[in-house]
């Protein structure tokens, strides 16, 4: 089979690999589409994602759709359309009964957080534990289904904010996750959704999903204390400062964008007088099933996928995905 393998920063190859053989409790999938995520971009362009540095040849990818190739148990017929929950959770811990994704000791498809690395889905064939497989509705196209993992991240972030019914929402950063947060916030009943980004093109995509106030970062101002809930999806320090200023008294900020693993300059002073809550959002737990159902009923989410590129042209695909003005979600076709 063929697989994408990152050997070092800027060095990705479409290589031959042995077809994996499923063991007891495992299923072999024929992968069809893999979404390029921000973490994948970091691994390719920098050889590291935050503190996780590549130490061996690495196959990226954790956003995927596929069909069943071989299920030794016979429970899943060949050709069944599926996606995968990418997490294997660590051992149970007191206090984290309802937060399995926060337990230490687990791993995630396409992550260098462990050694050996957890190889990802950007390969023609993938073997996973059968409990990670989710069967897709027959009417859900496989390209749209590849959005299930990032949509689950967005739904998790919206859930952390509490009820959005009738509330004014601000989403800072309109990359793929920001776009999906816009969609999830609208679905949750937000009264209005304002968005900001550095470029016009991401704002236009957000408008198609329900955003009504479009702001160019650094040019257009948003009033202080004008929104009940802010989702910071860019991971930029100035954007977090803006979020603290924009949120209303007793409001909530959900930090969705990955912040740098270093000290950053953020003005948090308004938190005190406004008694604002800031919540971090990390991946998701069981929201994948909700995301699949949402995708099946929402063809408008096709607009989040801007490009589909053959996996053999991965260098081109990664460069395209890096340019937020030119692309939203870029899928690799396998």
Partner residues linked to 333 by β-bridges:
33, 310
Looking at the fold, whether 112 and 181 belong to one and the same domain comes out as no
pLDDT at residue 212 in the model: 94
Looking at the fold, whether 210 and 87 belong to one and the same domain comes out as no
Looking at the fold, whether 127 and 220 belong to one and the same domain comes out as no
Per the structure, the complete domain to which residue 302 belongs is given by: 2-135+298-333
Looking at the fold, whether 102 and 55 belong to one and the same domain comes out as yes
Whether 120 is covered by a domain: the verdict is yes
Whether 290 is covered by a domain: the verdict is no
Whether 142 is covered by a domain: the verdict is no
Whether 269 is covered by a domain: the verdict is yes
Structure tokens belonging to residue 238: 């100035």
Our count of domains for the chain comes to 2
Query: Residues in the chain with pLDDT < 70?
Result: none
Question: What is each CA distance from 322 to 110, 138, 145, 249, in whole angstroms?
Answer: 18, 32, 22, 36
Looking at the fold, whether 119 and 226 belong to one and the same domain comes out as no
Closest alpha carbon to 173 in 225, 239, 226: 239
pLDDT at residue 13 in the model: 98
pLDDT at residue 287 in the model: 97
User: Looking at residue 121, which CATH number applies to its domain?
Assistant: 3.90.180.10
Looking at the fold, whether 171 and 200 belong to one and the same domain comes out as yes
In eight-state DSSP terms, residue 267 is -
Whether 140 is covered by a domain: the verdict is no
Whether 141 is covered by a domain: the verdict is no
Looking at the fold, whether 18 and 110 belong to one and the same domain comes out as yes
Closest alpha carbon to 6 in 107, 113, 87, 120: 120
Looking at the fold, whether 159 and 255 belong to one and the same domain comes out as yes
pLDDT at residue 55 in the model: 97
Looking at the fold, whether 24 and 68 belong to one and the same domain comes out as yes
Name 237's Cβ contacts closer than 8 Å, sequence gap at least 6: 259, 260, 264, 265, 266
Whether 286 is covered by a domain: the verdict is no
Looking at the fold, whether 121 and 194 belong to one and the same domain comes out as no
pLDDT at residue 241 in the model: 94
Instruction: Please answer whether residues 213 and 189 qualify as being in contact, where contact means their C-beta atoms are separated by less than 8 angstroms.
Output: no
Looking at the fold, whether 207 and 329 belong to one and the same domain comes out as no
pLDDT at residue 159 in the model: 98
pLDDT at residue 228 in the model: 98
In eight-state DSSP terms, residue 178 is H
Whether 327 is covered by a domain: the verdict is yes
pLDDT at residue 106 in the model: 92
Looking at the fold, whether 31 and 155 belong to one and the same domain comes out as no
């Amino acid at each position: 089979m063929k697989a994408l393998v990152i050997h070092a920063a800027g060095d990705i190859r479409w290589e031959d690999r042995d077809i994996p053989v499923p063991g007891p409790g495992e299923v072999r999938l024929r992968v069809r589409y893999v979404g390029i995520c921000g973490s994948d971009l970091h691994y390719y362009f920098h050889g590291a994602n935050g503190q996780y540095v590549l130490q061996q040849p690495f196959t990226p990818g954790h956003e995927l759709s596929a069909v069943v190739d071989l299920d030794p148990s016979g429970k899943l017929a060949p050709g069944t359309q599926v996606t995968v929950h990418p997490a294997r959770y660590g051992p149970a811990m007191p206090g984290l009964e309802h937060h399995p994704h926060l337990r230490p000791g687990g791993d995630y498809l396409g992550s260098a957080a462990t050694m050996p690395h957890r190889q990802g889905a950007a390969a023609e064939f993938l073997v996973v534990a059968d409990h990670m497989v989710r069967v897709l509705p027959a009417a859900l196209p496989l390209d749209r289904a590849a959005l299930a993992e990032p949509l689950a991240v967005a739904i998790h972030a919206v859930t952390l904010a509490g009820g959005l019914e009738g509330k004014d929402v601000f989403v800072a950063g309109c990359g793929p996750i920001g776009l999906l947060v816009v969609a999830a916030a609208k679905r949750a009943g937000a009264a209005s959704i304002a968005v900001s980004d550095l470029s016009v093109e991401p704002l236009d995509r957000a408008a198609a999903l329900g955003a009504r106030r479009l702001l160019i970062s650094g040019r257009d101002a948003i009033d202080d204390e004008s929104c009940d809930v802010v989702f910071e999806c860019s991971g930029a320090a100035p954007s977090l400062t803006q979020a603290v200023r924009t949120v209303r008294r007793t409001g909530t900020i959900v930090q969705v964008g990955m912040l740098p693993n270093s000290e950053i300059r953020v003005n948090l002073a308004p938190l005190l007088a406004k008694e604002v809550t800031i919540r971090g959002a990390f991946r998701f737990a069981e929201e994948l099933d909700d995301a699949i159902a949402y995708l099946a009923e929402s063809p408008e989410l096709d607009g989040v996928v801007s490009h589909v590129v053959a996996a053999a042209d991965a260098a081109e695909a990664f460069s395209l995905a890096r340019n937020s003005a030119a692309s939203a979600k870029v899928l690799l076709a396998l």
